[in-house]
Chains A and B, each alone.
Chain A
Amino acid sequence: DVKVTQSSRYLVKRTGEKVFLECVQDMDHENMFWYRQDPGLGLRLIYFSYDVKMKEKGDIPEGYSVSREKKERFSLILESASTNQTSMYLCASSVGNNQPQHFGDGTRLSIL
């Protein structure tokens, strides 16, 4: 079974802090994704990566950056956290394009 592990289930940070969310997958998947999910807005793609050191902007990249230094790890960075970034953050991975994505358990992030 695919295992996608997100570093924290719950996280509370203050406005202006730099926040790191980590995601690790154990299936040698090429593609990795970061989403946020908010009530009424559904799943929105923030960034994704097709390969090590590669990144592509999704639909809502503003205020975020990512890092993929190793194939199994994809990090999401909130450069200066703001209250409107309070959300559920979901990481996913897939073996390739147009293949099923497998999600981690999610990180519920609160910015105070």
Chain B
Amino acid sequence: QKEVEQNSGPLSVPEGAIASLNCTYSDRGSQSFFWYRQYSGKSPELIMFIYSNGDKEDGRFTAQLNKASQYVSLLIRDSQPSDSATYLCAVDARGKLIFGQGTELSVKP
């Protein structure tokens, strides 16, 4: 079993809809969870991070953690074509980050 798993997609949503991205992790001891956005040909850009003490909202983005089921989700409200990118989930593991393979999101006008 991979340490961090994401559905590779592509996930296609219409403009204005809610995009829901999910990530499961295997290490129950993980305390920190990160979401990165990566446009084609560019480097990953940090969008949000949460710790095991709760969810977080920042503008159109909400990160949620379900520790019991070991998954973390990213919701993007009012999706825009500019949100089209690959979204990487990362989980802390003994001082390092373990990255998922990423989910490709496509927002259609």
Contacts and interface: CB of A to CB of B under 8 A. Distances in A.
Given A42-B101, A43-B88, A58 B43 contact: no
Nearest to B90: A101
A98 B99 contact: no
A98 B42 CA distance: 24
Contacts of B100: 42
Interface residues of B, number: 19
A100 B46 contact: yes
10 contacts: A31-B95, A42-B88, A42-B100, A43-B44, A90-B43, A98-B95, A102-B46, A103-B43, A104-B43, A106-B42
A98 B46 contact: no
Given A42-B101, A90-B43, A99 B32 contact: yes
Nearest to A31: B95
Interface in A91-110: 97-106
Interface of A: 31, 33, 40, 42-43, 45, 48, 50, 58, 90, 97-106
A42 B99 contact: yes
